[in-house]
Structure 1
């Protein structure tokens, strides 16, 4: 089985990026966004991926099956700006094979 999956990420400028994300490095979506430098440094993942800020909020555009929101993610999104029904914290989405074809848009910087 291939260790990389294909993900589409739309940055805050509206530019669509097709990226490959490794499934064998225990990364989350926020770390993939940071590794491809798709958001200015210091504007995403400010809390380090602990679901304690909403700087990594993204909108899920595809019908990809994601892990269920945990209470801390739900609580953080309830206090965030620009939240939509499809909002998720990218730090809470582990990169696994089931995410093949995932499409997300990075939420505006608040």
Structure 2
């Protein structure tokens, strides 16, 4: 199990425990944990409604794909810590990661 701290849009923080043997994206994990994420495109990196900011642990993530970077470029509030949760699969090296939800609710 790894632990990920999630800062919701209202500033509340919760830690979720994620089994390392499941093949789900971070977006799917967040939705299963009842976070309000639209994920309009179903995880295809086409809508950016699962936009997150990596507060801690960015260096333990793989590089973003060109498609993910292209989508992030369309967001006015994206920065160097921005990622799409649908494009991230967690591994033991991501234990202790802290993220902030940024994606649109509409």
Aligned runs of 1:30-45 on 2, under 5 Å?
Answer: 30-39=27-36, 43-45=37-39
1:15 and 2:12 matched: yes
State TM-score, norm by structure 2.
Answer: 0.90
Checking the alignment, whether the CA contact within 8 Å between 2:6 and 2:100 is kept in structure 1 is yes
Partner of 1:48 in structure 2? 42
Partner of 1:28 in structure 2? 25
State TM-score, norm by structure 1.
Answer: 0.87
More deviation, 57-66/97-106: 57-66
RMSD: 1.4
Partner of 1:62 in structure 2? 56
Shift, 1:20, TM fit? 0.4
Partner of 1:107 in structure 2? 102
Q: What secondary structure does 1:79 align onto?
A: coil
Unmatched runs of 5 consecutive residues or more in structure 1: none
Between Structure 1 and Structure 2, how many residues are aligned? 104
Runs of 4+ in 1 over 4 A off after TM superposition: none
Checking the alignment, whether the CA contact within 8 Å between 1:22 and 1:95 is kept in structure 2 is no
